[in-house]
Amino acid sequence: MNVISCSINALKGLYDISGVEVGQHFYWQIGGFQVHAQVLITSWVVIAILLCSALVAVRNPQTIPTAGQNFFEYVLEFIRDVSKTQIGEEYGPWVPFIGTLFLFIFVSNWSGALLPWKIIQLPHGELAAPTNDINTTVALALLTSVAYFYAGLSKKGLGYFSKYIQPTPILLPINILEDFTKPLSLSFRLFGNILADELVVLVLVSLVPLVVPIPVMFLGLFTSGIQALIFATLAAAYIGESMEGHH
């Protein structure tokens, strides 16, 4: 009986850790603004991980790369390939922006899946991946939208806006609506997939033994990486489109 009781308590603890609190937030007041504290905390952790990784990468570069340097160079080459494929030959200045989006989303998604955030108790809400908050995904999408317009205006000047009346002025409302739906699409696609993955794991933990949801959690790691790649690829494609012309 003691063994059964201990097993039940252990499973109950794992269930509590895997729970998802929806609609509850821990707020801070900063300069008259009310912000989601848990998102800031986890975002700072993600940024610290990225900064430490960057410091390690550039600390002692070798002519003949070591294993760690090979990894960082592979990541950089991968980001450059994504940028070049979507933007074209003028991809160079946009590699830092696309790389920042990809790495922030990738590390955020993985931190939500691998780090035991829920062990840390907050007065309200809970710690989770920054991308699990709609405000974060909207901010990333708006940054992409600003970069999209900046790329077009810097390349073509005010002539950039002529695309809205091509191939016919009748399409002006539709072309304007298209530019507004791009950040919405990016934001809800990323937020929806991350939240759906957590909810699926929660439901499986509630219905079946823990050994079944574990493979789903590993699948979630894969899909989290894919979501980061999709977001970065679409952002680069939008920037490339604004620089080349209306399609």
Query: Is residue 162 domain-resident?
Result: yes
The pLDDT confidence band at residue 130, using thresholds 50, 70 and 90, is confident
157-169 pLDDT tens trace: 887 777 777 777 7
Asked if residue 143 lies in contact with residue 235, where contact means CB atoms within 8 angstroms, the answer is: no
Looking at the chain, the whole-number percentage of residues with pLDDT higher than 70 is 74
Query: Is residue 112 domain-resident?
Result: yes
Query: Is residue 18 domain-resident?
Result: no
Among candidates 112, 80, 63, which has minimal Cα distance to 225?
Answer: 112
Query: Is residue 29 domain-resident?
Result: no
Q: How many CB atoms lie within 10 A of CB 41?
A: 17
Total domains present in the chain:
1
3-state secondary structure of 126: strand
* Max avg pLDDT among 145-149, 198-202, 223-227: 145-149
What integer pLDDT is reported at residue 23 of this predicted model? 52
Task: For residues 191 and 198, give the distance between their C-alpha atoms in angstroms, rounded to a whole number.
Answer: 11
Query: Is residue 9 domain-resident?
Result: no
Task: For residues 117 and 42, give the distance between their C-alpha atoms in angstroms, rounded to a whole number.
Answer: 9
Asked if residue 46 lies in contact with residue 111, where contact means CB atoms within 8 angstroms, the answer is: yes
Task: For residues 72 and 183, give the distance between their C-alpha atoms in angstroms, rounded to a whole number.
Answer: 29
Query: Is residue 6 domain-resident?
Result: no
State the residue range of the domain holding 108.
35-57+65-243
Task: For residues 247 and 244, give the distance between their C-alpha atoms in angstroms, rounded to a whole number.
Answer: 9
Query: Is residue 22 domain-resident?
Result: no
Q: What is the pTM of this model?
A: 0.76
What integer pLDDT is reported at residue 97 of this predicted model? 93
In the chain, the largest separation of any two C-alpha atoms, in whole Å, equals 78
Query: Is residue 21 domain-resident?
Result: no
97-113 exposure pattern, b = at least 16 Cβ within 10 A, e = fewer: bbbebbbbbbbbbbbbb
Average pLDDT over all residues of the chain = 77
Residue type for position 233: T
The pLDDT confidence band at residue 114, using thresholds 50, 70 and 90, is confident
The pLDDT confidence band at residue 198, using thresholds 50, 70 and 90, is low
Residues 6 or more apart whose Cβ sits within 8 Å of residue 213: 18, 201, 204, 205
36-46 pLDDT tens trace: 778 888 889 99
How remote is the C-alpha of 57 from its chain's centroid? 22
Strands (E), the chain: 27-30, 33-36
Task: For residues 101 and 232, give the distance between their C-alpha atoms in angstroms, rounded to a whole number.
Answer: 6
